Amino acid sequence: MKHLIWIGISIPVGFVAYLYSLKKIKYLATIFYAIGLALLIIVLFLPHSRGRWIQFGGFQFQPSELMKVFYIVLMARIFTGLDRKNVYLPELLIPILITAVPAFLIFFEPDIGTSAIFFLVFLGMMGTLDIPFLRYFLYISPVLSLLCGFNLISWIIFMLVLIGALLFSNMKFREGMLLSLLNIMLGALAPTLSNLLKPYQKVRLMSFLNPSWDSTGAGWHILQSKISIGSGGLFGKGYLNGIIKNLGFLPQTRTDFIFAVLGEEFGFLGTFLLLLLFTFFLWRVLCLTRIRGEPFKKYLAYGIFFCFLSEITVNIAMTIGLLPVVGLPLPFLSYGGTSMLTSTIFIGFLLAIGKRSYA
């Protein structure tokens, strides 16, 4: 019933997003972003927020979900100014900062999955700019340095490769020094972030590398999810007939692991059809980025595309054991009111982008 109420709220809000002027939304982007940051800060200090949610009445509101909307709108506005330009690293420092601030606030909630979405959206949108491939690789190297920084040997090897790439790229000295500094800073930050992880998050990472390491504890989610999907066979066991779900072996069946439930109840054909629908949906969103003469619309569509693509990919990869369990909903399917609200707002924007007039 709560989810139905959220859907009832989401649809009118989606219509408002569709009818409201995108031009006005563009100019209000900074204000929206500031409101989103304020909500993320508030949720860290409220004693009844449960880390990620703000409770009001019998409902829970997740500010990090709504922050995706505010962030993408602001990034679309900033990238509009970079459209059709030769973009260099100094021009990307402000977008990097705008990405890092909400991502780290959400990381401390703690919510690693949603935090990672912000970086994935930024990397995707940055790839749409006029940046040569080698320079793009160098620009995303700080993220790779952060990942490699959890192991000293891998980080040293990565830095040696980076130095070679910098010498080969003929990059300006100042830009190369700035890039090297960012790599060193993020590489040095990795051990600190590792210490900030909650014990259960560290155990999840260990269970991802080897689910059988703690098959009755942290590895239980991944193992039961794989069993659930595999037991569905070709046609599945039928709607509401999933044994793994009904017996309670698979946790979070309405949210994080709903894809595993679909796999058990509708089988390979059902999940394949779902993937086809998601692919068609993403393709239609990508078609909207071909709009000429209206870069804000184009980058707004790109941001929404990479947001949906990241969430769908991470959630499904998580349920089949290709990524660690990070707690991320599957768009339009997982139970979650704020997630449904955010997705519906994005749909309203996409419908507005599809209109001919830019009013």
Q: What is the pLDDT of residues 45-98, one digit of tens each?
A: 876 555 577 776 667 788 899 999 999 999 999 999 888 788 888 888 899 999
Is there a domain that residue 177 lies in? yes
What average pLDDT does this structure show over 272-287? 95
Query: Is 267:235 a contact under the CB 8 Å cutoff?
Result: yes
Is there a domain that residue 359 lies in? no
Range of the structural domain that residue 30 is part of? 2-354
pLDDT at 228: 85
* 356 — pLDDT class (breaks 50, 70, 90): low
What average pLDDT does this structure show over 13-19? 93
* 134 — pLDDT class (breaks 50, 70, 90): confident
pTM: 0.88
Single-letter code of the amino acid located at 32: F
* 357 — pLDDT class (breaks 50, 70, 90): very low
Is there a domain that residue 168 lies in? yes
Peptide bond connecting 47 to the previous residue in cis, omega within 30 degrees of 0: no
Is there a domain that residue 157 lies in? yes
Is there a domain that residue 159 lies in? yes
Count of structural domains, the chain: 1
Q: How far apart are CA 94 and CA 78, in angstroms?
A: 9
Residue 359 has pLDDT above 50, yes or no: no
Which residues, at least 6 apart from 124, have a Cβ–Cβ distance to it below 8 Å? 302, 305, 306, 309, 310
Q: How far apart are CA 320 and CA 211, in angstroms?
A: 12
SS3 content of the chain, % helix, strand, coil (to 5): 70, 0, 25
